[in-house]
Amino acid sequence: MGQDSERKLSHLSPSGEAHMVDVSGKAATERLARASARLTATPEVLDRLMAGDLPKGEALATARIAGISAAKRTGEWIPLCHPLPLEWVDVSITREATDAILVLATAKTSARTGVEMEALVAAAATALTLYDMGKAVDKSMVIGPIQLEHKSGGMSGDYERTT
């Protein structure tokens, strides 16, 4: 299974119950994470989405705000996730192909635990908002994959997706 499977499961108590990890003894360090999400749809729908020509209005700005807002509330979305004082969240939305949009979300903080979940939640919420804005035109849009692309800082070190 790999290196992670040999570590103690940090979100389980000695008796096997789920609990929040105690990070109070860790030093606050600078941490950054970047995650991506893809939205696939017909070229016609993506043309309208990128042009701001959807029945619900301008989707790109709405989706960016949704992603940033969601990152700030990650501790409410994910039950055992620590609420973090985010110092920066950025969301970009670009046309990756005629039938795909790429969302890149970056989160940064100085804290005792990482910001991977904040970046992933921002990417997911942005893609979900794009879907919501476009579903009146096309309900067959597909979201995925949603994945971590990069992280830096913390005890586990840096990570860079290679595939």
Taking the whole predicted model, whether its pTM rises above 0.75 is answered as yes
Q: Look at residue 55 and tell me if it is in a domain.
A: yes
Check residue 57 and give its pLDDT.
Answer: 86
Phi, psi of 40, deg, nearest 5:
-110, 135
Q: Look at residue 115 and tell me if it is in a domain.
A: yes
Residue 152 has pLDDT above 70, yes or no: yes
Q: Provide the number of structural domains found in the chain.
A: 1
Q: What residue numbers bound the domain in which 122 lies?
A: 30-160
Q: Look at residue 17 and tell me if it is in a domain.
A: no
Indicate which residue of 90, 99, 132, 138 is catalytic. Answer: 132
Q: Look at residue 103 and tell me if it is in a domain.
A: yes
Q: What is the CATH number of the domain that holds 146?
A: 3.30.70.640
Check residue 156 and give its pLDDT.
Answer: 86
Q: Known catalytic residue: 132?
A: yes
What is the overall mean pLDDT for the chain?
Answer: 90
Name the DSSP class of 15.
T
